């Protein structure tokens, strides 16, 4: 249970820090090789690109977890606290449908690519590993969305709307 709590709290953060550091080191290495040694390596460019792809798709989940995604809030401003919670539930359910669709079709594309044995030209890693970023990132996003939807439904059931206005104004500042 302790491990699950730790994963819930930190999984995306550690993945994002690792991928950011990896991309940074690889890009700096490639810049050094290109401009100092007059030699460029294709594997470094590929690794940086693939790290960035994974970084973005896992970052979506982190954005959902921390409620940092850009949103159109003009509609929310017209509602009281309970209405804001309901609108948030609807928006998160729609996002969840999109995320689950991406998991399904992303996995299909990744597994087909893995079955065909396609590899990247520089690193010679299976291209399906790169394509797995979409279903993995969207799966993590789905988990975070379900957590938020569950919390918002609980809030509706209990009628606890005291801090909704505060949370909304806090999100506006970010």
List the domain boundaries for the chain: 2-173
Query: pTM above the 0.95 mark?
Result: no
DSSP 8-state assignment for residue 174: -
* Region 37-54 average pLDDT: 93
Helices 164-173 and 81-116, interaxial angle, to 10°? Answer: 60
Angle formed at CA 12 by CA 144 and CA 10, multiple of 5 degrees: 95
Categorize the per-residue pLDDT at 64 as very low, low, confident or very high, splitting at 50, 70 and 90. very high
| 77 confidence band (pLDDT: 50, 70, 90) | confident
How many angstroms separate the CA atoms of 71 and 109, rounded? 29
**Is-contact 43 123, C-beta < 8 A?**
yes
Helix extents (H) in the chain: 2-35, 42-66, 74-77, 81-116, 127-131, 133-158, 164-173
Residues 20-43 pLDDT 10s: 999 999 999 999 999 999 988 889
- Residue 159 Ramachandran class (φ > 0 left, ψ -120 to 50 alpha, else beta): left
How many CB atoms neighbour CB 35 within 10 A? 10
pLDDT score for 52: 97
Confidence of residue 152 (pLDDT cuts 50, 70, 90): very high
Whole-angstrom CA distances from 170 to 55, 67, 139, 165, 167 are: 26, 10, 27, 8, 5
What are the pLDDT digits (tens) for 103-140?
999 999 999 999 999 999 999 999 999 999 999 999 99
State the pLDDT confidence band at 147, using cuts at 50, 70 and 90: very high
């Amino acid at each position: 249970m302790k491990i699950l709590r730790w994963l819930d709290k930190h999984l995306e953060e550690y993945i994002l820090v690792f991928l950011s550091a990896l991309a940074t080191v690889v890009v700096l290495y490639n810049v050094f090789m290109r401009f100092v040694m007059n030699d460029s390596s294709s594997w470094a460019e590929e690794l940086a690109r693939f790290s960035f792809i994974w970084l973005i798709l896992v970052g979506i989940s982190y954005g959902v977890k921390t409620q940092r995604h850009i949103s159109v809030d003009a509609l929310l401003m017209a509602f009281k606290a309970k209405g804001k919670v309901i609108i948030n539930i609807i928006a998160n359910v729609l996002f969840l449908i999109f995320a689950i669709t991406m998991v399904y079709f992303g996995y299909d594309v990744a597994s087909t690519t893995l079955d065909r044995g396609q590899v990247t030209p520089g690193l010679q890693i299976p291209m399906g590993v790169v394509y797995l970023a979409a279903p993995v990132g969207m799966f993590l996003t789905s988990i975070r969305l379900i957590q938020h939807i569950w919390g918002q439904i609980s809030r509706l059931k209990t009628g606890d709307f005291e801090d909704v206005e505060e949370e909304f104004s806090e999100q506006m500042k970010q």
